[in-house]
Amino acid sequence: MPFTRISLRPGYSDAQLARISDILQQCLEAEFAVPPRDRFQIFEELPPGRHVFDRHYKSNGRSDNFIQFHILAGKPRTLEQKQNFCRLLCERLHAALAIHPDDVMVMIRFNTADDWSFSQGRMLSEEV
């Protein structure tokens, strides 16, 4: 059920974006109990001057690789789940793509299953 918008610099190859997509999905499955094929993402590449961020606020130092994950999820998660998800996401982005944990920002919002229709005008809560 989650939908994620990923805001990042231009210049990543299609293969690198696909790698970020896979890592995000793996972390959501591992820590947010998301089903395997429940994958919905938008990548938004922002030219210079369109992605404004402080280089040091609550980070040891952000670079041009700064990346934001805006997640909308349909049911609540515990603080522990959020912690584990964010830590795993940082670890895997670092290992696979050399995106530094200082460059990774996550914002999560929640609504309810009544607020999602995946297709055919059926609300998720109608599907049993």
Contact between 28 and its own copies by CB under 8 A: the answer reads: no
Contact 4, 40 (CB under 8 A): yes
Helix H or strand E segment including 94: helix 79-97
**Interacting positions 7-26 with its own copies (CB under 8 A):** 7, 14, 17-18, 21
Query: For residue 104, what are its two tokens?
Result: 């990774």
**Interacting positions 49-108 with its own copies (CB under 8 A):** 49-54, 56-60, 62, 68, 70, 72, 79, 82-83, 86-91, 101-108
Question: Among candidates 68, 116, 71, which has minimal Cα distance to 93?
Answer: 68
Distance of CA 6 to the CA centre of its chain: 6
Amino acid at 122: R
Minimum distance, C-beta of residue 106 to its own copies, in the bound complex (Å): 4
Q: Catalog residues that contact its own copies under the rule CB under 8 A.
A: 3, 7, 14, 17-18, 21, 35, 37-46, 49-54, 56-60, 62, 68, 70, 72, 79, 82-83, 86-91, 101-111, 114-127
